[in-house]
Chains A and B, each alone.
Chain A
Amino acid sequence: MVLDNISFTIDEGDILGIIGPNGAGKTTLFSCMLGLLDDYTGTIKILGDDIKKKNGKVFKSIGYIPQKKTIEQNFPATVEEIVSLGITTIGKTSKEKIALALETVDLLAQKDRRVGELSGGQQQRVLIAKAMVNNPKLLILDEPVTGIDLEMQNRFYSLLKKLNQENKITIIWASHDLDAVNRLATSVACINRSMFFHGKAYEFFENPDLLKAYSESSMQAHMHLHNHTHRG
């Protein structure tokens, strides 16, 4: 069993940081939340709807940014074309929506460039623009800054804050970066195969016992991974 005993809620307008060591099951949890996996017991409700019902309207209200993966360099699509994929209904305003999304991620000047030519950080921002072009109510991000340099990471976090505060988008965000979660998240869910904390961010970060328990569990997971790698 990859995950057990996971239960949490998120209020509209919140930023929920999901933290946990490598192999804790964060990506599996997201796969369940996004309807990619439905081999679980219990219920996941997003915007009031059971995700297993595969209600298209709910999926259209979710923007998803996967764990950083490189876009194939030779894929023949411009930045504008990739962002347009996020639009569910094409109309007269599509061009304006795309321009607005690209402006938000500071990539409007690059709209005619091929997406494969951009740097890793820029590609990630293109995916954010694609995720938000349809004005989602909920943004789900799976460790979105892995492999991106520090300056780009900080720009990315500022962008998240802007999306949450100005565009009123609720955000669920998996991260390794405790510092960033401390700065941005309003609530925290801490998982390692099962959930061992869910509550307000300050309750977690101001509790030395919880922080100690988290770092010990991360260390154990790291050792476990290390041993596996060596045995393999």
Chain B
Amino acid sequence: MILEVLEFGFMQRALIAGVSVAITSSVIGLFLVLRRNSLFGDALSHAAFGGIAIGLATNIYPLWTGLTLSILGALGITKLRQYAKIPADATVAILLSSGLALGILLISLSGGFTLDLFSFLFGSIMLVSVEDTLAILAMTGIILSIIILLYRQLMYITFDEEQARVSGLPISKLNYLFIILASVAVIVSMRLVGILLVSSLLVIPNVTALLFNKGFRKTALISILISIFSVVTGISISYAANLAPAGTIVLVSTTVFLTVLAARYYSKKKQVVKKLEEARS
């Protein structure tokens, strides 16, 4: 049955696009989580929502308008953090609510929600076209190439921005570049799980990978594997049980997180008991 399903073009596209998104979002998400910026993805996706509504209202390809607004919003709040010294979580709240408000306003002006808008809000991985898949693959390729090229520099900034600055790294340029990459990653991920669940793909696989207590490269690899597993399993379950793919993918990754957390708890408990027994004997 599995092989039969794979013969369907929509399923092939869903899996190819899904795996690409899984890799991109976990790589970008690792830096966001470690910089304590987990909700930044949420803010970017909500800003993109405003942009998508502009695209739908003006008949411009919505992903481009979404991407533009998301990048502009992200750069704007970064400047706001630097110059007005506003706390990071407050700037995230400003971007998130402003993007959503813009979207709602435009939707009400254009006469209500459309099917297109619903697919951006909740994802529509089973409906991705060949063009969408190619666009997702291209964007994934660009993001991964840049991250691989600048991996050490980005890791240095994440580890200690002040020391990275002293070592001569162009911190502002790297931060702006990262924001643009994160915006592209969010736009790519929206196709899979929708605006409302984007940050789960960025955050949950990485938080799970961190529980393994490994180094940077291994943590990134574990996160990618968890993300791919969640996406492929989620798509398969949702097809077999006729469930919403986005919700299923996110719940699979939450289940993986809870399982690893429980395994870690029991292994720690076992270690303590073993040490106590050794001390007694």
Contact = CB atoms under 8 A, between A and B. Distances in A.
Interface in B194-231: 209-210, 213-219
Given A84-B152, A114-B213, A114-B214, A77 B166 contact: no
Contacts of A62: 166
A120 interface: no
Main secondary structure on chain B at its contact with chain A?
helix
A34 B171 CA distance: 14
Nearest to B220: A76
A82 B159 contact: yes
Contacts of A21: none
Given A74-B210, A76-B215, A66 B168 contact: no
Interface in A20-46: 34-36
B215 A78 contact: yes
A173 interface: no
Given A66-B162, A85-B156, A90-B152, A76 B168 contact: no
A76 B166 contact: no
Given A56-B168, A90-B152, A81 B216 contact: yes
Contacts of A114: 213-215
**Most chain B CB inside 10 Å of its own CB: which residue of A66, A78, A85:** A85
B270 to A, nearest CB: 19
Interface in A64-100: 64, 66, 74-78, 80-82, 84-88, 90
B242 interface: no
Contact of B214 (A36, A76, A88): A76
Interface residues of B, number: 21
Nearest to A82: B159
Interface in A86-119: 86-88, 90, 112, 114
Nearest to A84: B152
A36 B167 CA distance: 11
A76 B216 contact: yes
A138 to B, nearest CB: 12
Given A66-B162, A77-B159, A60 B167 contact: yes
Given A82-B159, A85-B152, A90-B152, A77 B215 contact: yes
B33 to A, nearest CB: 10
B213 to A, nearest CB: 6
Given A76-B210, A81-B155, A82-B159, A64 B166 contact: yes
Contacts of A112: 215
A112 B218 CA distance: 11
Interface of A: 34-36, 54, 56, 58-60, 62, 64, 66, 74-78, 80-82, 84-88, 90, 112, 114
Interface of B: 34, 152, 155-156, 159, 162-168, 209-210, 213-219
Given A59-B168, A78-B215, 14 more contacts: A36-B162, A59-B167, A60-B168, A64-B163, A64-B167, A66-B162, A76-B209, A76-B210, A80-B215, A81-B215, A85-B155, A87-B152, A90-B152, A114-B215
